[in-house]
Structure 1
Amino acid sequence: MAPDLTREEFADGIETLHRRLSAMGQLALGLVEDALVAFYACDAQAARAAMTADDEIDRIDVEIEQHAVELLTAAAATCITVAPATIRQLLTVVKVNNEVERIADAGGEIAALAAVADAGQRDLPATTRVMTNSVVGLMRDAMRAFARQDADVARVVLASEHVVEGFKARILRTAEQRVAAGAMSVDAAFNLQELVSHCMFIADHCTNIAEQVIYMQTGLIVRHTDEQWVERPSAEEP
């Protein structure tokens, strides 16, 4: 990147990274969806195909991080004045990049579970599909909020996380009861626990993305209390 970077070129560079990361988010969403389909179908071949997408996402993750560093280095060398909102946008790209990469890792773990699944996993608590569908919807909304820089959609994501937590508790309770009654094998229950844990992990990272979108658009820091999500001024705000 040229050392005589202008403010316009800096902003254009961030926009390019934003578009690249939005596309990476769609790849990660596809990975999670494919991994879940493979899990429910006990399809080892489809699971292995899903896992290959994680390698591509890892490559893009490194590429985005490197370009972000190059952009900051060029800006520092040129000593250009950058607005706080522009800095927030770049910081958000770097942080969301990490969140998406970790979501993709969780999708890869779900695919790995599917690769060793057996027919015993087909008889899962009905709430399982409801939970996994909810997580996919949560991720879709989180990536839409980031791509469109939409704080309102991000707030919808934050408001939905507790629903996923409730599904997890119900699923694990049902699994415990089935194991105790001899209606579910220990192996199937273990795989189910792994699945819902990975899904909860994905949901957590989706809320992290939503927090970053709100910060990017408003400069407010989002914190979770016992009752609700709270938006507070950051140190940069008066």
Structure 2
Amino acid sequence: MVLEMDDSRAQQDANGRVTHLRKRLCEQGRVVVSLVEAAFKAFYDRDAADAAGVSAEDDRVDRADVEIEKECVALLTSAAHGDYRLDQDQVRSVLTVVKINNELERVADVGAEIADLVGKLADPDTRFPETTEVMTNSVLGVARDTVGAIEKSDPDLARVVLQSEHVVLAFKGEILRKAERRVAEGSMSVDSAFDLHELVSHCILIADHCSNIAEQVIYERTGMIVRHMEERWVERPASDS
């Protein structure tokens, strides 16, 4: 009876630690979305002080990233030593936390790089094509949906995130074509066009990391591996990947 009670307590502790990891991951996701939003605002406002604040927040994300990964490693190590019994779903959940946590940290890094552009712009007064702000708003929406998919463990919302990547890529093509025309007309300098290209490339990176997270959400909930094939997303059982 005592042994059964000890096993029960150990299992409850394991369940609690997995739940805690999920909670910390969701908190990290919300912080990262706020960071990206602040980065875009600092960029459009050309606000160096706000940009510095984004860099400071990125440091906070980096610290949390390390803490979360350490917690995951400690839990898996305890399970390997027989302190806990983690079932297949729990192991998958912990591994997913590790992968998503890493992707969130990378999104934050890209956000910090966007904020850093404020002090590097060739001509801060140059106005970029209006579609640029539409694109950044779209990317911010993708990031919010991504974190929503994490919080709700929602594979359907994760699929929306995957489909959104094509929209972001379409924006890139349109914006860069407009920039080329403006350079040819002499209304935008080559250096400013390079600045715009860098911003757009950062947006693509954020969308790409969000797609990676969405793939993990789908895998955790369904066990299906997501692959991008011929401009469409395909889900396959893990054994077929």
TM range (shorter): over 0.9
Larger Rg: 1 or 2? 2
TM, length-normalised to structure 1: 0.93
**Conserved 8 A contact 1:48-1:115:** no
Name which of 13, 17, 20 aligns with 1:9: 13
Q: Which residue does 2:96 correspond to in 1?
A: 92
Q: Deviation string for 1:107-163 (max 9, x for gaps)?
A: 000000023344333x11111011000000000000010011111111111111100
- Please state if 1:212 is matched with 2:212: no
- Please state if 1:113 is matched with 2:117: yes
TM-align CA RMSD? 1.7
Q: Which residue does 2:180 correspond to in 1?
A: 176
Question: What is the correspondence of 1:75-154 to structure 2 with a 5 Å cutoff?
Answer: 75-78=79-82, 80-117=84-121, 118-121=123-126, 123-154=127-158
**Conserved 8 A contact 2:14-2:84:** no
**Conserved 8 A contact 1:35-1:114:** no
How many residue pairs get aligned? The number is: 233
- Which secondary structure state, in structure 1, belongs to the residue aligned with residue 129 of structure 2? coil
Q: Deviation string for 1:183-238 (max 9, x for gaps)?
A: 1012211111110100100000001111000000001101111141111001399x
Name which of 52, 61, 67 aligns with 1:63: 67
CA distance in 2 between counterparts of 1:7 and 1:38 reads 47
Q: Displacement, 1:79?
A: 6.0
CA distance in 1 between counterparts of 2:84 and 2:174 reads 54
Q: Displacement, 1:49?
A: 1.3
| Displacement over 4 Å in runs of 4+ | none
Q: Displacement, 1:9?
A: 1.9
Q: Which residue does 1:160 correspond to in 2?
A: 164
Q: Displacement, 1:173?
A: 1.1
Q: Cα gap change, 1:27/1:115 in structure 2, threshold over 3 Å: closer, same or farther?
A: farther
TM, length-normalised to structure 2: 0.92
Amino acid of the structure 1 residue aligned with 2:124: A
CA distance in 2 between counterparts of 1:235 and 1:8 reads 31
Q: Displacement, 1:177?
A: 1.3
**Conserved 8 A contact 2:10-2:83:** no
Q: Deviation string for 1:44-82 (max 9, x for gaps)?
A: 111111111000000000000111110011111116443
**Conserved 8 A contact 1:145-1:154:** yes
Q: Percent identity?
A: 53
Q: Cα gap change, 1:34/1:59 in structure 2, threshold over 3 Å: closer, same or farther?
A: same
- Please state if 1:43 is matched with 2:47: yes
Is 41-50 or 137-146 further displaced after alignment?
41-50
List alignment gaps of at least 5 residues for structure 2: 1-6
**Conserved 8 A contact 1:158-1:210:** yes
**Conserved 8 A contact 2:224-2:236:** yes
**Conserved 8 A contact 2:225-2:238:** yes
